[in-house]
Amino acid sequence: MLSSYVESVRAGFGAFVGVGVLVLLPLIALHYHRFGRVEPRRALVLYGLLAYGLVALALIFLPFPSALVCTGEQMVSTTPFRWITDMRNNLSANGRSGVVAVVTSTVFLQQAFNVALFVPLGVVLRKSYGRGPFAVVAIGLGISLAVEVVQFSGNLGAYPCPYRIADVDDLISNTAGSLLGWMIAPVALVVPAVPHPDASTAPPGTVSVPRRLLGLLMDVLVLAVVARLVFDGNRWWVVGLAVAIRVVVPSLTGGHALGGWLLRYHVRRPDGARANPARIALRELLGVTGLIAYVALAPADWWFAVDMCVLALVVVGAFVVPVFRRDQRGVPDLVADTRAVRTAEHVPAAPAGVGS
């Protein structure tokens, strides 16, 4: 029995890997559209539920029979706690008795498994979503009932008859597991609480990562065209032009680079005050301008691993980290104590703890 469970768990995790990759980008897009960021705790809970659901389904329905002979055998049990009678009969037939014999019997372990299978559901419903005991019991019962109906219908008609018994004891055990999960949820430290939507949404005036990327693309296009037509690709002039576009111009115009001016955002201090040239320069040194300078000036035979590390640090620090923060500030902004804000709005200072 244990080996079949292990194979089902493997199949469930295999399905999670494939499905998880497919839904990753849509999940990010959905979160970003709704909240203006990807809230890490929400994403963790959703991915955890996805993994749990697929593994649970694999344990419930796998293995599928390669050939099924319908003999007319009764494949539904409507007698509550029939498993206790079955266990007693089994123990009596094998001449066994006592607590050890009970807890090691196949029938008891099967029911214990049915309880344990729904414990994570109860934990998540209470700890992450704040559901009460009645809601948890109702949801657990509803899901378990749906599973039993699918089993009794031969997987919704995929098979001419059921290959597993639809059992009322499974309903009882699964529902009890949900309630047990609700009871132990406070001590489940690894399960995070999902914050209220108001605490997940980016504050007013926050400039999204896609908007900043588009502004950056405009600046890079101008840099590439001018560097090619005027400076014939001279690498020192390329670096100087990048500094002029991304540091000098914003310092003189109150934080506006060309792309930011076109898309109506600029670089300011978190409290809304003007960012001085030193802060803008530090921000760009740790961000895209620093990457442009590295690409232009680094030796052609430099170590490939170093190149990848520099690229990864800039991309992750400047464009991945902000996706998960309410204020959308990346590592360069955090170090330089700056923030990109929309120029079309009078944006208040970011509240304390806004980046969490």
Taking the chain (356 residues) in runs of 10, the rounded mean pLDDT of each run is 70 82 82 82 87 88 81 83 88 83 87 94 94 95 94 86 89 96 92 83 85 92 86 82 92 90 91 92 94 86 82 93 90 94 62 54
Q: Is 356 part of any domain?
A: no
What distance in Å separates the CA atoms of residue 243 and residue 280, rounded to the nearest whole number? 10
Domain contains 351: no
Residue 106 inside a domain? The answer is yes
Half-sphere exposure of 213 (CA within 13 A, CB side): 10
C-alpha gyration radius of the chain: 30
173 and 288 share one domain: no
Number of folded domains in the chain? 2
- Give the model's pLDDT for residue 232: 75
Tokens 């609480």 appear where?
193
Residue 283: which domain range? 203-342
105 Rama class: left (phi>0) / alpha (psi -120 to 50) / beta: beta
Last residue of a domain, one of 165, 199, 233: 199
Residue that terminates a domain, selected from 148, 170, 199: 199
- The answer to whether 239 touches 297, Cβ cutoff 8 Å, is yes
Question: Could you give the CA distance from residue 339 to residue 279 in angstroms, rounded to a whole number?
Answer: 11
Could you tell me if 237 and 231 are in contact, meaning their C-beta atoms sit under 8 angstroms apart?
yes
Contact 46, 24 (CB under 8 A): no
Report yes or no on 58 lying in a domain: yes
DSSP 8-state code for residue 69? -
pTM, two decimal places: 0.74
**pLDDT value of position 312:** 93
The pLDDT value recorded for residue 176 is 96
For residue 266, give both structure tokens. 């600029």
76 strand-pairing partners:
166
Per-residue pLDDT at 345: 52
pLDDT of residue 354: 55
253 falls within a domain: yes
Q: Are residues 247 and 332 in the same domain?
A: yes
Residue 218 lies in a domain: yes
Task: Return the pLDDT at 32.
Answer: 82
In a domain, 137, yes or no: yes
Domain boundary among 135, 166, 199: 199
In degrees and rounded to multiples of 5, residue 76 shows phi and psi of -140, 140
**157 and 211 assigned to the same domain:** no
Residue 354 in any domain: the answer is no
